Chain A
C-alpha cells in the first residue's frame, strides 16, 4: 500500500483512497476465495505436514520450526492467535462451518467451555449432524460441568473452613486468651492486642510441624505446644495438647524414658520445672505441673505467640537452672489459682486437689522473689 496520506476533509481524495483498497486486497489478512487454502497453510490447522518446508512457501511453518523447542512459548498463545484468525475469517463469512468448528476447538483448548458449547450450537444450526461439532460439544459440556463441580467443592471447603475458624476464634475469645501476632515489632512495648479477627488467617495455616489449633465435639480446645529445653537447646513438640490435660500428664509420658540429649540422665517427670516467659517485661512465671494448659493460658501475663504456646523446661535446683534463672525476675507459682471464678467444671476438681499439695510442698507465699 502507498503511504500517501489523504486529507480526511477532502471527499474526493477519500474516495480515491477507498478505491485503492477495493482493487488491492489487504495482503495481511485472508482472501475471501482463498482463505481456506491459506488456513491450511497455518501450521496449527495443517492437515498434513509438508515433507519439505520451503521457507518461501511456508514462512510461518519454517519460522515455527526454528522455535519449536522454545519451551517458554505457551501453547495457549497459539490457540489464542488461531482464534483471532477464525474471528477475522467469520467476519468475511459468518456462516462458514469450518471456521466455526475450528473456533469451537480453540475455545475448548483454551478452557472456555461455555463459549465452546455456544459455538457448537451455532454451527449445528447450519449442519445439525456435523460430527466434529457434536464431539466437541459433548466434550466441552462435560468439562464445563466438571469445572462447575470443582467450583462448588472449593466454595464449600472455604465456607467450612471459615466457620471452623470462627468457632475457634469464639472459643479463644470466650476464654479471654491473649494472642500475639508474629508480625509484632520487637521494639514495641506492648503486645499487639489488636482485634482478634486478624488471627483468622493464621488459623487456616498449619505451623511447620503440620499441627493446628482444634476444637473437639465437646467444645474443648487442643493446642500445638512447644517445650523448650534451654539447657541443651532442645525442644519437644506436642501436636495436640488438650486444654484440660495437665502438664504433668504430658511430662510423665514424654520423660518416661530419658531423652537422648539428656546426657546426665537427670530429666525426670517429678523434678522438672516449667516456666513461661512474659516477653514484654522479660520475666518468667513458673507453672505448676498440675495446672491444666487452659489455666496457664488464662494467666493475665500469658500471651500465645503464633498460635503455639511455648514453655521452658529445666530440672529444678540443677546448676543450670540456678544459673539460667539468675538475674531474671521469676514469679513462683502460688498455691491459689489466679482466676477466682473457675471457667470450666474441671477447674473445680483441681481446686480440691490443692490442699494435698499444700501439705507436701513449701509454697512460696510471697509473690515476687529473686532467686539467689
Chain B
C-alpha cells in the first residue's frame, strides 16, 4: 500500500494518492467477505458492492489491481447457491468489457475461461447467460480468444467442446433458465480463428447448416448478430465457397432472406429467386439492425470473390433483392455497401488473372488510387452522417 508522499508534490497529487490508498484499503477490506466460506449474506453484500464498483472506469481499474479479490470474484462466479454467483458473474462481465483489464483478470485466475465454459455448457447452470457474456467480452481480444479456442479444441478428439457450444446455440431449450443468446457473439469471436472456421465448415459434418436458420431468430438481435458475424467470417474461406453456395449448405438464401422486404415480384422474376425468397408474405420485415444488415451484405460480397461464385449469386437473382434493399435502406453506410455489391454483380467480369478477387495482387499505383478513392468516399460518408442525427450502437 502506498503512503502519502513525504512533504513534496502538489497537494492535489497527494490528495489523489491518498484517495487511491483509501480506495485500495476499501477494496482489501472487501476481500475477507468474498472468499469461499464467508457468511452468505455478507458475501452477497460484498459482491453487490463490487458489482457497483465495476460500473465505473475508475472502479474497474481499481479492482483490476487487486489480484486476490479478482480471484475470489472468479471463484464466486462459478460457485453454487447460496453464493452470489450472479452478481459476481455480472461484475466479471463489466471487468471483461475493458480489454485493458484482460491481462490482470487472466493473471489472477488463468483457469477462468475454462471454468466459465463449463458453466456455459452446463444445462442446469442458472447464470450461464452471464458466463457466456463474460467469455464473449474476453474473446474480443486475440490472446484470450486463442487460448479459449485451444481449450475447446482440446476437449475431445472429436472437438466436443465446440460441438457442444454449437448445439447449445442451435437448441433453444438447451438451458431452461438461460436463453444463451451471448453464445452468438462468443462463436462469432471464436470464428476469427482459422481452426474454428475449419470445424464450422467441415463438409463431413452438419455444423454451419444448423446455424443458417438463426439468421431469422427474431427474439434476440444479440444471438442473430452473433450468428451472422460467424457466417461472415466463414465466408473468408474462399476454398469453401463452392460448397457453401452449393446444395449441401445453400447459404445464399439465408443471407438474402433478412435483407428481403415485402415487395412483389413478377412471375418471371419470382422463378429466378431461391425457393426461400419466393412468395414472401406482404408483411415481411427486413432485418431491423443496421449493423447486421451490413454484415449480411459483407458476407455476400465475400462470396463474390470467385468468378463461379459471382455467377451463382447472379443466377439466383440476388440483384432483385439488393435492388429493393437499396431503394429502402435508410442508413448511408449500409446503402453504400449495398451499392458496391450491386456494382460487382452487374459490372463487367474482371480480366483473366483476376478471377479470385481475394487473391489478386494489386499493383502499387492502383493501390494508391483505390486508397484515395476510399478516403474520398469515407469523407463523403462522414459528411452525410454528420448531416443527420444517428444514434450510435
State the A residues within 8 Å of B (CB): 120-121, 124-125, 128-129, 133-134, 137-138, 141-142, 145-146, 148-149, 152-153, 155-156
Q: Interface size class for chain B?
A: 10 to 19
CA distance A262 to B176 in the complex (A): 84
Collect the chain A residues with CB atoms within 8 Å of residue B275's CB: 145-146, 149
Q: Is B24 an interface residue (CB 8 A)?
A: no
Q: A134 CA to B210 CA in the complex, in Å?
A: 12
Q: Which chain A residue shows the least CB distance to B205?
A: A128
Contact indicator B205/A129 (Cβ below 8 Å): yes
Min C-beta distance of B300 to chain A, whole Å:
19
Are B206's CB and A124's CB within 8 A? yes
List the B side residues contacting A152 at CB < 8 Å.
278-281
CB distance from A28 to the nearest CB of B (A): 35
B167 close to chain A: CB less than 8 A:
yes
Question: What residues on A are CB-neighbors of B219 within 8 Å?
Answer: none
Interface string of B150-165 (1 = CB under 8 A from A): 0000000010000100
The reply on B289 being an interface residue by CB < 8 A is no
Sorted nearest first, the 3 A-B pairs with minimum C-beta distance are: A152-B279, A153-B279, A149-B275
Cβ A145 vs Cβ B276 within 8 A: yes
**10 new A-B pairs (CB below 8 Å) besides A124-B205, A138-B209?**
A121-B206, A124-B206, A134-B204, A137-B206, A138-B247, A141-B209, A145-B275, A148-B276, A149-B275, A156-B279
The answer to whether A134 and B279 have CB atoms under 8 Å apart is no
Q: When the two chains form the complex, which single residue of A120, A125, A138, A149 contacts B279, counting CB atoms closer than 8 Å?
A: A149
Give every chain A residue within 8 A of B209 (Cβ-Cβ): 137-138, 141
Q: How far is the CB of B66 from chain A (nearest CB, A)?
A: 43
A146 to B250, CA, bound (A): 13
For A121, A128, A137, which residue has the most chain B Cβ atoms within 10 angstroms?
A128
User: Would you mind naming 29 contact pairs between A and B with Cβ atoms under 8 Å apart?
Assistant: A120-B206, A121-B210, A124-B205, A124-B206, A125-B167, A128-B158, A128-B163, A128-B205, A128-B206, A129-B204, A129-B205, A134-B204, A137-B206, A138-B209, A138-B247, A141-B209, A142-B247, A145-B275, A145-B276, A146-B275, A148-B276, A149-B275, A149-B279, A152-B279, A152-B280, A152-B281, A155-B281, A156-B279, A156-B281
Q: Which residues of B contact A134 (CB under 8 A)?
A: 204-206
Write out the residue numbers on chain B whose beta carbons fall within 8 Å of the beta carbon of A145.
Answer: 275-276
Note all chain B residues with C-beta closer than 8 A to A141: 209
| Complex: chain A residue closest to B275, CB-CB | A149
Whole-angstrom CA separation of A155 from B247 in the bound complex: 27
B34 to chain A, nearest CB (A): 39
Contact bitstring B192-206, A, C-beta under 8 A = 1, else 0? 000000000000111
| Chain B residues numbered 238-297 whose CB sits less than 8 Å from any CB in chain A | 247-248, 250, 275-276, 278-281
Cβ A138 vs Cβ B248 within 8 A: yes
* In the complex with contacts A125-B167, A128-B163, A153-B206 CB distance below 8 A: no
Which residues of A sit under 8 angstroms from B206, Cβ to Cβ?
120-121, 124, 128, 133-134, 137
**A104 nearest CB across to chain B (Å):** 13
A148 CB → nearest B CB, Å: 8
CB proximity of B218 to chain A, nearest CB, Å = 16
In the bound complex, residues from chain A placing their C-beta under 8 Å from that of B276 are 145, 148-149
Chain A's closest residue to B278 (CB) is: A149
In the assembled complex, the CB of A136 is this many whole angstroms from the nearest CB of chain B, namely 11
